[in-house]
Chain A
Amino acid sequence: MKTDKLEKYFKKYSYNVNKVVGVDPFDFDNLLLLENGVLSEISKKEIKQEYLIASYIPNRDVITYELTIQKNLLEKIELEDYIETKCYEEVGLDEAEEYIFKHKVVDSIADEKNLIVEVVIISKTNMVEKYQSLKDNYGYLDYLTYPGYVFDVLYKENILEPQNDLYIYFTKDDIFITLYGEGKFLQTSVIPEGLQNIYEELVNSIKIKDFDFNVFMSLLVKKGLDLNNYSEKQHVLFNELSELFSNKFLIISNQIHSIVRKFSLTTIDRIYMSTIKGVIPGISEFANMYLGVEANDLKFDLNYNPNDIEIDQIMFLSMLSAQHAYKKEEQVDNFTIFQRPPTFFYRKSGQLISISIISLLLSISYPIYEVIDTFFINNSNETKQIELNKLKHTHNKLNKLNKNLKSKLEQKKSQKDNLIKYIKDRESIIDTIYKEKKGYVPKAVLIAKVSEYLDKNEVYLKEIKYGNIQKESKTTRTKSKKTKTNINSNNKKLLLLTVYSKSDSKITNFINNLVKDEHIIVETPGYKRERNLYTAEVGIKVEK
């Protein structure tokens, strides 16, 4: 189904050969649809683009011309140019006007040296005038043929076996006779005395109330030329009608004899006869009587017309011809100048528009790609921005926590340092106090101990001094009073004993006792003897 749709868009033409609409050349609103081999009536509104529009040119709008050319001349000339030139010269065409020329070369005439070119000429101006409204309505006219050519399709579509066939068709304006020899077009002859002429002659002879042309046609296709169809009272009408048709058949007979002679035909195998409104009952007997051959009904729509719609057979055959022509792509007999344009992609304007659109799309495709890409990147950026904001928020929190922790840590460190300092200070104080207390040598105790040794060695004390004693100085009292004494300044202090004895050995023993027994460091400069008494200054280092 999708393939069909695609095919529809990409095939060269939009028509469907199985759907042909026939347009009545005398009334463009009279339409017939041949869809898949079935005929039906159709209105103008129902026309679809896929329908092939077909019609035929009435004989009155056609100029036919028969041109005899020598066979040997055929190879030497451009036939189409020759035909046109000849036609302008011999038919008396208006040189200011454009014409469409179609021809059939007939090579089966009695004269073996020559051949006939049957030329059909149509004025372009007339065609535009006549079919412009049709074109305006439907947009185009796919197939426009000449009535004489329509029978060709009967052989091409194998509806009839190729034989020598004669087609006699009564239209309102004329009677046209077309001859096909072995399936090939030979000639069309138009007798300009059609049904209108017969009607007028009839009403001139017999006065019938309300007997207009339409009533006449109804009478003709219903009762026709069959006496059995008429009441006794109507015999006068029948007789008159028979006479009129006899006259016409005499003319037709003469035309046929003339044609047969020209084409040296031995026989006419079949005659087909009808009118624009249908077959005339009893006309076959007339044909047999005047032409010597029993006539068949010119009615080829039996297999296509299940609803038995009243059909102009020429219109039906032109529809079949159109279908065949478009199926086989044979447009030789197509007179239309309002051809359907190709589908969009096959017409130059479509191609230009397509190229323009493709160029436009291609040229904007990369910018569009960039725009789309930008859109997606921007979207992604928005998401990333949100993520970044969250991360920044987290970062700020972490940073704040970090600073807080660092600050706390600093505080703790400071607290710790302070505590350590405090503890050290305290420890130092305690330590110092301990050392001071433990290291302090009680002077009273020391002096008492020294006194014991003095007594023991019979050494007598003259003077005791303790303090920062200079050897030369007698006392340190004043100095000690005024100096901010260091608590540890004892190291430099000296206990200076001025002792005397009768014997110097006693003083020595005393010193030895102090040094050996008490491990006291003693300094002494020596003895002095004064009046049998030995005097010595003994310096004791008090602190360790």
Chain B
Amino acid sequence: MKKILDSLDEFLSSRKEQEQQLLFFLPVLLFGFLSYSFLYSITNKNLNNSIRKENNLTTEIEQIKKTNISLKSNNVHLKKILKSADVKLKELNKEKEDLNILVNQLGFLKFDLPKWAGFYNNIPKLAQKHHLYILSLDNEMFEENNKELVQKKMSIQIEVIGNFIDFMKFVNEFESKKQLIKIESIEITSDKMVVDIDIYGAKL
């Protein structure tokens, strides 16, 4: 080291003052240039990348925090709604159950082919009960798919002869039943008495 310093001293002393100043300025220029050209460009790029990443992360964190707060709040709200929905559903289910009970009680309104067959087959007996003589007895089944209530309909046409009052009693027998029975048409003449009865099978 001593030798290097001595040699350097000797070298510098052998130079003119201006040359010495130039030599002294040279490292400033050299290191400044090298640093700016090679180091600074890399470190600055890295720093900027890091800062950009930091900003992105910060923004992302802020956004996700906000979203999370919103989600939390939304979830709390949804839970409340769900709770009230549960209560409402419970109420509705109760209502449904009550209605079902009621509807079940109206089960006799349903389409029931054997029962309807029995009903139809019982007409001659009923006519006989009211001293009526059946001239003709006919029926026809209809599908009522478009209707809200009616699933099936059976139209029965009864042509009888007998007493007017008996006929009215006979008709009244049908109208007094709890099923959905309607008199579609009546025709009473001196020759005969005709009644068209519709029985409806409800969708329940």
Contact = CB atoms under 8 A, between A and B. Distances in A.
Interface of A: 139, 341, 344, 347-353, 355-356, 359-360, 362-364, 366-368, 370-371, 373-374, 377-378, 380-381, 384-385, 387-388, 391-392, 394-395, 398-399, 401-402, 405-406, 408-409, 412-413, 415-416, 419-420, 422-423, 425-430, 432-433, 436-437, 440, 442-445, 447-448, 451, 461-468, 475-477, 480-481, 484-485, 487, 490, 493, 495
Main secondary structure of the interface of B (DSSP, over half): helix
Nearest to A405: B78
A484 B27 contact: no
**DSSP majority for the A interface?**
helix
B199 to A, nearest CB: 11
Given A377-B54, A380-B54, A485-B198, A447 B186 contact: yes
Interface in B57-80: 57-58, 60-61, 64-65, 67-68, 71-72, 74-75, 78-79
A347 B78 CA distance: 82
Contacts of B119: none
B186 A398 contact: no
A47 B79 CA distance: 89
B24 A355 contact: yes
A363 B92 contact: no
B183 A443 contact: yes
A364 B200 contact: no
B187 A348 contact: no
Q: Sorted from nearest, which 9 A-B pairs have the closest CB atoms?
A: A467-B185, A349-B8, A363-B35, A444-B172, A356-B27, A370-B43, A466-B186, A405-B78, A363-B31
B189 A463 contact: yes
A433 B202 contact: yes
Interface of B: 2, 4-9, 12-13, 20, 23-24, 27-28, 30-32, 34-36, 39-40, 42-44, 46-47, 50-51, 53-54, 57-58, 60-61, 64-65, 67-68, 71-72, 74-75, 78-79, 81-82, 85-86, 88-89, 92-93, 95-96, 99-100, 102-103, 106, 109, 140, 142, 144, 147-150, 153, 155, 157, 164, 168-169, 171-172, 175-176, 180, 182-190, 194, 196, 198, 200, 202-204
Contact of A402 (B31, B71, B171): B71
A461 B100 CA distance: 48
Nearest to A467: B185
B78 to A, nearest CB: 4
Contact of B40 (A360, A366, A399, A475): A366
Nearest to B65: A391
B102 A341 contact: no
6 contacts: A363-B32, A416-B89, A416-B92, A451-B164, A461-B164, A484-B153
A388 B32 CA distance: 40
B31 A412 contact: no
Contacts of B100: 426
Contacts of B53: 377, 381
A360 B148 CA distance: 96
A428 B81 contact: no
A529 B198 CA distance: 38
Contact of A352 (B23, B72, B103, B202): B23
A481 B148 CA distance: 22
A393 to B, nearest CB: 10
Given A347-B9, A387-B61, A484 B79 contact: no
A436 B65 CA distance: 62
Contact of A348 (B12, B157, B189): B12
Contact of A363 (B34, B88, B93, B182): B34
Given A466-B185, A467-B196, A398 B28 contact: no
Contacts of B148: 425, 428-429, 432
Given A359-B27, A445-B175, A381 B54 contact: yes
B89 A419 contact: yes
A484 B43 contact: no
Nearest to B146: A484
Contacts of B34: 363
B202 A429 contact: yes
B106 A430 contact: yes
Contacts of B147: 487
A447 B175 CA distance: 13
A348 B9 contact: yes
A461 B185 CA distance: 17
Which of B50, B60, B95, B147 gathers the greatest number of chain A CB atoms within 10 Å? Answer: B50
Contacts of B51: 377
A394 B68 contact: yes
Given A341-B9, A419-B93, A429-B202, A374 B47 contact: yes
Contacts of B82: 405, 408-409, 412
Contacts of A368: 43
Given A381-B53, A429-B148, A442-B172, A419 B92 contact: yes
B99 A427 contact: yes
Contacts of A430: 99, 102-103, 106
Contact of A349 (B12, B36, B176): B12
Contacts of B75: 398, 401-402, 405
B27 A352 contact: yes
